[in-house]
Structure 1
């Protein structure tokens, strides 16, 4: 499924006359990296009022999907915040339909997120950038310590505040991963994500992490 544009009318915040626009309603970030860059830069669905020349975001619903990152975000119009409960219920219905439609090409076995407005989407993506950066630092530290690197299932890592990459181990069980993480942290690496991973894997009864 490719990125999709829709047609509508944009309403300038200065109450100028509405004008016709084409805006993105479905974004496949993994297929269209330029759209991901636009969302991070605050330029996605950004329009200029032809009357007063003010730039503003078109306030409309949008679905953002980055399949490899296991990230799906339903972006609701900021003006609809009061309808949150109804929108979340509708989101669950739409997600079930999307899963059915894309089941042959994508494994959507994770829960979607939702936000209101494109600024909130930008914040989500900025957090993703921070997660990716710290995860890459962890991977480099693992390699420097002479350890192999294992990649966690992205949705699992995100939900549990773990890095995307952790030191691999050939021994079974969560405690083996905790010991490997401890070895990397002892090198002087300052990673809250890996520290949290080690702490959680050290807990009594902890399950081994979900690997990709």
Structure 2
């Protein structure tokens, strides 16, 4: 799915005359990584008032989508926060439409996320970056021990606060087998709260094997 720009009237916070702007209403992060960088840098949908010269973010609704990461975020305008129940109902309706038409081939089986404002979206992406960095460290430490590395289903890992990559057992691919492999990596000196949580959950009685891609 391609990123999309729309046109709308922007209202300067200094109460100048409204003016027309182009703004991103859909960001497909895997197709346009520069737009993801613009969000993290606070530059996406940043506009300048032609009357007073002030810079501000156009406060329009936005959909952020990263297919490989299984992350779909509906970003609503800050001024509409009091309409949250109505907007959430609309989000789920739009989500059902998107996953059965535009993204039917992806067989989406994970729920959307909703936030208010670009700053909140930036926070979501910064949290994702931290998890990705910790996951890469887990993968590197696992490989250094000669262990196979498995990639968890991203939405499953996110929901359960697991790393995106985990050490995998050579043969015993039960939950306990994954717990033992994780214990080996943690025993090597790696400090990872995500991997420790994964180990603890896989060690629970009746735990199911993790969802691997």
TM norm structure 1? 0.98
Count of aligned pairs: 212
Residues of 1 paired with 2:117 and 2:103: CA distance?
A: 28
User: Counterparts in 2 of 1:148-187, with a 5 A limit?
Assistant: 148-169=148-169, 170-187=171-188
Q: Residues 120-157 of structure 1, C-alpha deviation per residue, up to 9 Å, x if partnerless?
A: 00000000110110000000000111101000000000
Q: Distance in 1 between matches of 2:106 and 2:78?
A: 29
What value does the CA root-mean-square deviation take over the aligned residues?
A: 0.9
For residues 47-88 of structure 1, give each alpha carbon's deviation from its aligned partner in whole angstroms, at most 9, with x where no partner exists: 111122211111111000000000000000010000000000
CA distance in 2, matches of 1:102, 1:14: 39
Gaps of 5+ in 1: none
Tell me the residue number matched to 1:9. Answer: 9
Moved over 4 A (4+): none
Equivalent in the alignment of 2:102: 102
Q: Distance in 2 between matches of 1:95 and 1:88?
A: 10
Alignment of 1:133-148 (within 5 A): 133-148=133-148
Deviation (angstroms), 1:102: 2.9
C-alpha distance 104-86 of structure 1, shift in aligned 2 (>3 A): closer
| Structure 1 partner of 2:77 | 77
Hey, what's the Cα distance between the residues in 2 that align with 1:108 and 1:22?
Answer: 30
C-alpha distance in 2 between matches for 1:57 and 1:73: 18
Report how far residue 41 of structure 1 moved: 0.8
Q: CA deviation at 1:103?
A: 4.1
Deviations for 1:100-125, whole angstroms, at most 9, x for unmatched residues?
Answer: 11344323110000000000000000
Q: How does 1:20-35 map to 2 (within 5 A)?
A: 20-35=20-35
Provide the residue aligned with 1:201 in structure 2: 202
